[in-house]
Amino acid sequence: MLEKKEDALYEQLRAIVSDMKNLRNPLIEILHQAQKLFGYLPMEVQRFVAEELEIPVNKVYGVVTFYNAFTMKPRGKYVINVCTGTACYVKGAPRIIQMLSEILDVELGETTEDGIFTVTAVRCVGACSLAPVFMVEEETFGRIETRKQLQEIISNYRQKV
Amino acid sequence: MNVVINGREFPARPGESALSLAQRNGIFIPALCYHHKTGSLARCRACLVAVAGYDELQTACNLPVKSGMIIDTDSEQVKSYQRLIVDLLLSSGEHDCLSCEQNGDCTLQDAAYYLGIEKPSFKLPIPDSTVDHTSEMIVVDRKKCIQCHRCVEACNNTVVNEIITMSERGFQSRISFDDGMVMGESNCVQCGECVQLCPVGALIDKNSIGKGRAWQLEKINTVCPYCGVGCQIELHVNRKSNCIVKVSGIEEAPPNKGMLCIKGRYGLDFVTDKARLTKPLIRTENGDFKESTWEEAVSLIAERFNQIVKDNGNESIAGLASAKVTNEENYVFQKFIRREIGNNNVDHCARLCHSSTVAGLAASFGSGAMTNDINDINKADVILVTGSDTTAAHPVISGRIKKAVRDGKTKLIVIDPKQIALADYAEIYAAQRPGSDVALINSIMQVIIRNDLYDKRFVDNRTEGFADLKTEVLKDKYKPTNVEKITGVTAEKIERIAELFAEGKTGSVFYSMGITQHTTGTDNVKSIANLQMLCGNIGKPGGGVNPLRGQSNVQGACDMGCLPNVYPAYQKVTDAKTKDKFEKFWGKNLSDKAGLTVLEITDGIQQAKIKGLYIMGENPFISDPDQNHTIQALKKTEFLVVQDIFLTETAELADVVLPATTFAEKAGHFTNTERRVQRLNPALRPPGNAKHDWEIIQLIANAMGSDWNYRTVRDITTEINAVAPSYAGITWNRVANNGIQWPCPTIDHPGTAYLHKDRFARGLGLFHAVKFKEPAELPDDGYPLIMTTGRVLEQFHTGTMSRKTKGIENIAKPMVMISVQDAESMGIVNSEKVKVKTRRGEIETNAFVTKRIQKGVIYIPFHYAEAPANRLTIRALDPVAKIPEFKVCAARIEKI
């Protein structure tokens, strides 16, 4: 069953690549689409893209590992992006990260066992006035200070699942 | 244009960088990422210099100088910035010099020394401190990496193997292989270009570790002993232990520009292998070998050879020369057979590889060598590679083709039964059925003529016989739709190939054994010559018909007349004037009767016409077709002398075995595939009592009562200059570093990069109407598969040399390539041991199930004595060139 679903995803990816193949430098956009499809970019997907685009796989791997937006590990349904830009850092980003990892029992960059949350650090998200800031999907949370506030936000997302 | 550096004025070249100008004038600027081959990457930032009128410091490597520019490279202020950069690099990682192989030859160490840095001032995290030992030949130590990007450039843009990349970023960034694998599991082919370009000790030759420091090693320039590309190499030799510690490619060398392959860089262990022959061996009455002195062995040979001639006439002895020894040695070998024995029975393994090229091109153009040179590969608009697994057999040329394709100007077409690595770079790849080449090329020409895509001016002015060609190729049977049925290449693809190839302004064809080793080998070659004349691709840079020669000196062995029908420089033995010239020069009567070819010699032994056989540096036991037949002949030989570096399978059957020297021990010349004569320099002492081949031949000649008096190799070179017109200007002193390409008729002639410029060697180029013929043996119910043979990248020829390197043996083992479809239908899985059978015999080997070979075809590399492909091959010969059909016979596979 799983295999069938995967096959269908690869077929979709093949179509995406063939649509975009002739654009100038299509690799990054294709990888975005691939990540949307698969949720992450495992080696097999990278090799598939390389083969379909007729470029060596080392080029794909270099790009995937360079950009924060790409991940080679499956991510949770919700990715908590904690801003570690200068302002947020000074205003307590490390503490936010520490609290989140305690509450969710994960290290930075890891995903919870139930596959719901991933905690990652990002550079400045441009909302310094709200520091410390983190984002979940498109939503921004600012000036969070207590463990209780965090627990509340997390349980709200848990309920959505 | 003048530029001032540190207060002194220097004349500069337009467009030159400040770094280049400084370096040319002996001014040191720490520059870690710059290498002339990779260009200015401007990554390391160590080459900062101050320029008058600029507010900020500039990186010298990418700063084009301008007239009047005033540059400061060594003020305390500039050096303080350079020092900070180098200090930061030293601080990130662990750059411990004590046991580092690069110690003494390290750009980072030099920079630190220049700037007076004792210890790194900072301590920065290392992303990955594990040392990657997984590759057979290369060790990766990221602790020593300074992330200069040179290896990335080397892998992607010079050899174009496209394995290394820089992954991650910031402190985490590191060099990676493919998609982040360890090196040993990646697709790395271990050419070592990255090691050669690494400025520090992050990429190291595994086998050099602990064998000597850079300053203890003597460097000797010579030529690689493997394929015909003729890569110039530098041997790093430890005099004390008399061994080769390391090999690097010579950056300025025309054929390879510093590039090498796994064989040339890492496959030279054979030179100092314990199994090297060190003393002459004589077979005793009870059948064993006993060691002997040179006097004893040589006088025995002289006595027996004299006796055989006396009893059976002077046509009863034959000789096989060698594509692995120098021009000088081949010259004296054929002279020995012709002058001392008195016949023309001298041939060598070129018979088995490119005799059809020599015959076909001589008929079409008047000269049978590669028409163009390696350096101009990138001048072609379109390249057709057919019947050549270039990446395996001529890796450095393959790299140059890939580079031309990646640079965007050149389009590549690959036609080969095996989907070779180059096919991945091709605009069009077609898999033809083995042996259907003439039909395919005729069809391509039909499309070109029908669509009026051919070069009419060239055809009118430079060729003859076009009407005949036209009549033949326009026949209905060569219509793409009909040829599709013969070749398996679709009509649509044939049309596209024809159009793509003919539309390129300059097109070149590269081919190898896939074209020549057929009963229609000469026809195949003529067809390629036809195509290239039709498209007007002869006599210009980047075009031509380019047969790739398979051994280091196979071109030279042919040029030196180690062929039964010609003296040196292809002067016919049947020509009275030529005979007269050589008789006068050598002072003896000579035979005007063409001698026997390789397989005619073995047949001659079977028929008891040939009694004595003198083999120098060849191993027909493994290399010749239909092994059982060869073995019978070798056993039947009344007196067999084998001169070699190892006790080969052939030598084991000899009556006398003579220990010779390797390329690394001798002086002389090799002629590479592009006709370039290049110098060999001795680097090591020969083992035991081994002697140079020319010395041995001279000893035998004189023991037989002759009057030879060569004191050095140079004496022979001078004699070659005198008798071989195309080598007349290639004197010892002129060869120098770059070599000279023949024809070079006078001592002020620069040599010839490409042949047939305004005129073919024969005057007009001759079109041949070539009819398609099927191979000698086609598959049938009993033997339903087509078997074809060839090489793999890591091994060479009969394995005598390459198999002595352990790492190579670990990578490249015997196998039979079989298509996924055939394997599935027979229930064979990858690595399964199977039996391959033909009408000649059977072998056991491992199945390599792959998509890269077409259904109905199997492929066996011929390097392995334990699974000899040539036990299976057929003894069918091309009627003109007498080349055997190694590339097609009928076979079947059985499960065990």
Q: What is the DSSP string of B418-430?
A: B--GGGGG-SEEE
For strands B785-790 and B70-72, give the pairing.
Answer: unpaired
Indicate yes or no: CB of A59 within 8 angstroms of CB of B180. Answer: no
| Residue B572 backbone dihedrals phi, psi, to 5 degrees | -70, 135
Report the candidate in B416, B415, B431, B438 with the shortest Cα–Cα distance to residue B522. Answer: B438
Nearest to B873 by CA among B892, B889, B854: B889
Give which of B286, B289, B337 is closest to B655, Cα–Cα.
B289
Which pLDDT band, with edges at 50, 70 and 90, does B644 fall under? very high
**Cβ contacts of B414 on chain A, cutoff 8 Å:** none
The architecture in CATH of the region A78-160 reads: 3-Layer(aba) Sandwich (3.40)
Query: Would you identify the CATH topology of the domain B355-547?
Result: Dimethylsulfoxide Reductase; domain 2 (3.40.228)
pLDDT tens digits along A37-47: 998 999 999 99
Percent of chain B whose predicted confidence (pLDDT) is above 90: 91
Is the CB of B180 less than 8 angstroms away from the CB of A65? yes
Q: Which residue of chain A is at minimal alpha-carbon distance from B171?
A: A66
- When pLDDT is averaged across residues B521-540 and rounded to a whole number, the result is 96
How many other CB atoms are there within 10 angstroms of residue B81's CB atom?
Answer: 15
Rounded CA-CA distance B805/B661 in Å is 18
Condensed to tens digits (0 to 9), the pLDDT of residues B175-187 reads 999 999 999 999 9
Across the interface, which of A54, A61, A66 has its CB nearest the CB of B179? Answer: A61
Give the three-class secondary structure for A153: helix
The pTM is what?
A: 0.91
Angstroms from A80 CA to nearest CA on chain B: 21
The pLDDT, as a whole number, for residue B310 is: 94
Check if the beta carbon of residue A9 is closer than 8 Å to that of residue A37: yes
CB-CB under 8 Å, A59 with B165: yes
| Encoded tokens for B353 | 């590889």
- What CATH number does the domain located at B281-343+553-561+573-741 have? 3.40.50.740
Q: Which residues of B touch A44 (CB under 8 A)?
A: none
Question: Cβ contact (<8 Å) for B178 and A65?
Answer: no
Query: Look-up: residue for tokens 């199945």?
Result: B847
Chain A: which residues have CB within 8 Å of chain B?
A: 43, 46-47, 54, 56-62, 65-66
Shortest distance between the Cα of A152 and any Cα of chain B, in A, equals 35
B169/A58 Cβ within 8 A: no
Tens digits of per-residue pLDDT, B460-476? 999 999 999 999 999 99
Quickly count: other Cβ atoms within 10 Å of residue B262's Cβ. Answer: 26
B:137-156 residues touching chain A, CB 8 A cutoff? 156
B281-343+553-561+573-741 matches B355-547 in fold: no
Q: How close A54 gets to chain B, by Cα (Å)?
A: 8
Measured CA to CA, the distance from residue B252 to residue B231 in angstroms comes to 11
| Contact state of A61 with B178 under an 8 Å Cβ cutoff | yes
Pick the CATH number of B785-895 from 3.40.50.80, 3.50.50.60, 3.30.70.580, 2.40.40.20: 2.40.40.20
Chain A CB contacts of B128 below 8 Å: none
CB B178 to CB A54 under 8 A? no
DSSP three-state, residue B225 = coil
Contact B180 A57 (CB under 8 A): no
At B721, which helix (H) or strand (E)?
Answer: helix B713-723
Question: In terms of Cα–Cα distance, which of B554, B664, B550, B512 is closest to B324?
Answer: B554
Which of B 156-185 lie inside 8 A of A, CB atoms? 156, 162-169, 176-180
Confidence at residue B623, expressed as pLDDT on a 0 to 100 scale: 83
H or E segment and range at residue B526: helix B521-534
Domain ranges for chain B, please list them. Answer: 1-121, 281-343+553-561+573-741, 355-547, 785-895
Which residues of chain A does B164 touch, with a Cβ-Cβ cutoff of 8 Å? Answer: 58
Q: Which of A43, A47, A62 sits opposite B165 (nearest CB)?
A: A62
Q: Which candidate from A43, A56, A62 shows the least CB-CB separation from B166?
A: A62
Choose among B839, B829, B841: nearest CA to B896: B829
Secondary structure (3-state) at B834: strand
Residues of B in contact with A65 (CB under 8 A): 167-169, 176, 180
Q: Which of A41, A54, A57, A58 to mutate to test the interface with B (most CBs of B within 10 A)?
A: A58
CA A139 – CA A148 distance, rounded (Å): 19
Within 8 A of B424 by CB-CB distance, chain A residues are: 54
Q: Is the predicted pLDDT of residue B327 greater than 80, yes or no? A: yes
**Cβ of B479: how many Cβ atoms within 10 Å?**
16
Of A56, A65, A66, the CB nearest to B162: A56
Chain B closest CA to A79's CA: distance in Å? Answer: 20
Q: What would the DSSP string read from start to end of B434-475?
A: TT-HHHHHHHHHHHHHHTT-S-HHHHHHHEE-HHHHHHHHTS
Please, what's the b/e burial string for B742-769 (b: 16 or more CB within 10 A of its CB; e: otherwise)? Answer: bbbeeeeeebbbbbbeeebbeeebbbbb
Minimal C-alpha gap between A99 and chain B (Å): 25
Comparing B6-20, B69-83, B121-135, B432-446, the range with the smallest average pLDDT is: B121-135
- pLDDT tens, residue by residue, B773-820: 999 999 999 999 999 999 999 999 888 899 989 999 999 999 999 999
Q: Name the average pLDDT for chain B.
A: 94
Q: Output the pLDDT for position B622.
A: 84
Residues present in chain A in total: 161
Report the amino acid identity of residue B47. Answer: C
Nearest residue of B to residue A47, measured between CA atoms: B179
Q: Of all residues in chain B, what percent carry a pLDDT higher than 70?
A: 100
User: Is the CB of residue B454 less than 8 Å away from at least one CB of chain A?
Assistant: no
Instruction: Check A65 against B176: CB less than 8 A apart.
Output: yes
CA dihedral (B352, B353, B356, B362) positive or negative:
negative
Residue of B nearest to A67 (CA): B168
- Return d(Cα B527, Cα B383) in angstroms, integer: 16
**Contacts of residue B165 in chain A, CB cutoff 8 Å?**
58-59, 61-62
B229-278 per-position pLDDT tens digit? 999 999 999 999 999 999 999 999 999 999 999 999 999 999 999 999 99
CATH fold for domain B1-121 = Ubiquitin-like (UB roll) (3.10.20)
Give A3's pLDDT tier (boundaries 50, 70, 90). low
Taking CA atoms, what residue in A is nearest to B162? A56
CA distance B137 to chain A (A): 21
SS (H, E, C) B74-116: CCHHHHHHHHHHHHHHHHECCCCCCCCCCCCCCHHHHHHHHHC
User: According to the model, what pLDDT value does residue A2 have?
Assistant: 46
pLDDT tens string B65-87: 999 999 999 999 999 999 999 99
ipTM of this model? Answer: 0.78
